[in-house]
Structure 1
Amino acid sequence: MAILDARKSKPLEGGASFSLSNRVSRALWQVSWAVLAAWTPPPLFAWRTALLRLFGADIAPSARVYGKTRIWYPPNLTMAENALLGPGVNCYNQARISIGAKAVVSQGAHLCAGTHDINDPDFQLIAKPITIGAGAWVAAEAFVGPGVSIGDGAVLGARGVAFRDIEPWAVYAGNPAKKLKDRPRF
């Protein structure tokens, strides 16, 4: 998925950041999710993951996504075994977002893989992948910014804001997130 050149597309003047085919694909996805999945009860995880796979996501059969989760572009989503996206998670995956085995992204968390070049007069969009390691926990209403890696077994506390990588098996909290302590390995 190629990002359009802001000098040509002029997003500050209402131009698009992505191709027409990408925008149509995302519109079809949003309508399909709203009609077929957003309203479904929590136990229908298999149905929702099947729908995500149909739209290009790489999701393990045991991964769980709640109906109230918002996923911007399924082909940029990878979820390993028993990974979880909780209710109200905003997965703004303009670049790849990978969620490791048994990782939990709790309710209301925001995973944002896109930003803009503030030094560019055309405000060029920049997309950077996010990786959430196996056994990690992104707690309620936390924010993970573009290009951030959350290490295996790491915790980003509730409403924490991560713009830098989080070490494996460590607990971080705050805005910006700071390391509080190590987490026992198990």
Structure 2
Amino acid sequence: MAGSERVKMATGEWYTCLDDELETLRVIARDAVFEHNSLPPRQRGNLGPGLKALLGEVGEEARIEAPFHCAYGFNIFLGNGVFLNAGCTILDTAAVRIGSGTLLGPNVQIYCAEHHREAAGRQAGLEIARPVDIGANAWIGGSAVILGGVRIGEGAIVGAGAVVTRDVPDNTTVVGNPAKAIKRN
């Protein structure tokens, strides 16, 4: 496994996503996501059983509404009482940690993968994975986009439709594209 594309992805090196091992892991995630999204709500509960087993960590009363999509699942860590509304997408090529009590509105997107800047690199499937950390009791408004390498502080608010390209301090509200601070909470 040393030097494998999975190891490169996990250690923040350039790797190729056009890799059999990574594709196998994505298929496992797609199966778990399909089950979660297809189960009747009363049968699914807070999380479909396959998705709950796949995620890196699931705190008490964490809930993901359907539909949901993730790339791998095992890089997603949810604190207690985390809520992801319908339509959320997490491309978890790196760790995505969401602190307890945090709420994500509908269609929030978290993208850890960054593609190569050169066309030849993109054609070769080259990516680099950057983690996302969202502190406890944050609120991420609907259709916000959070890019890899970003930390959103505790109690922060990200306005609907914002594109977060930089860290957000604790207890700060950001809006816009790119997201900019407008006030301290």
Quote how far apart the aligned CAs of 1:90 are. 0.7
1:117 alignment counterpart: 116
Amino acid at match of 1:59: V
1:179 alignment counterpart: 181
Query: Are residues 63 and 144 of structure 1, via their aligned partners in 2, closer, same or farther at CA, if it must alter by over 3 Å?
Result: same
1:60 alignment counterpart: 59
Query: Are residues 94 and 18 of structure 1, via their aligned partners in 2, closer, same or farther at CA, if it must alter by over 3 Å?
Result: farther
Query: Are residues 47 and 150 of structure 1, via their aligned partners in 2, closer, same or farther at CA, if it must alter by over 3 Å?
Result: closer
1:73 alignment counterpart: 72
2:84 alignment counterpart: 85
8 Å Cα contact 1:2-1:18 kept in structure 2: no
> 2: CA distance between counterparts of 1:105 and 1:178?
19
8 Å Cα contact 1:38-1:67 kept in structure 2: yes
| Residue of structure 2 aligned with 1:150, choices 144, 149, 152 | 152
**Where does the alignment leave 5 or more consecutive residues of structure 1 unmatched?**
10-15
8 Å Cα contact 1:113-1:145 kept in structure 2: yes
Q: Deviations over 1:33-89 (max 9, x none)?
A: 21x2202344533442x3223224311131111120112111100000001111100
> 1: CA distance between counterparts of 2:24 and 2:86?
25
| Residue of structure 2 aligned with 1:133, choices 135, 138, 144 | 135
**Where does the alignment leave 5 or more consecutive residues of structure 2 unmatched?**
1-5
**How high is the sequence identity, in percent, across the aligned residues?**
23
> 2: CA distance between counterparts of 1:120 and 1:39?
37
Quote how far apart the aligned CAs of 1:173 are. 0.1
1:29 alignment counterpart: 29
Q: Deviations over 1:160-181 (max 9, x none)?
A: 0110001110100000101111
More displaced stretch, 65-74 vs 24-33: 24-33
More displaced stretch, 150-159 vs 67-76: 67-76
Q: CA RMSD in A?
A: 2.2
Pairs aligned (count): 173
> 2: CA distance between counterparts of 1:73 and 1:19?
14
8 Å Cα contact 2:106-2:143 kept in structure 1: yes
Relative contact order higher in (CA < 8 Å, ≥ 6 apart): 2
TM-score (norm 1): 0.84
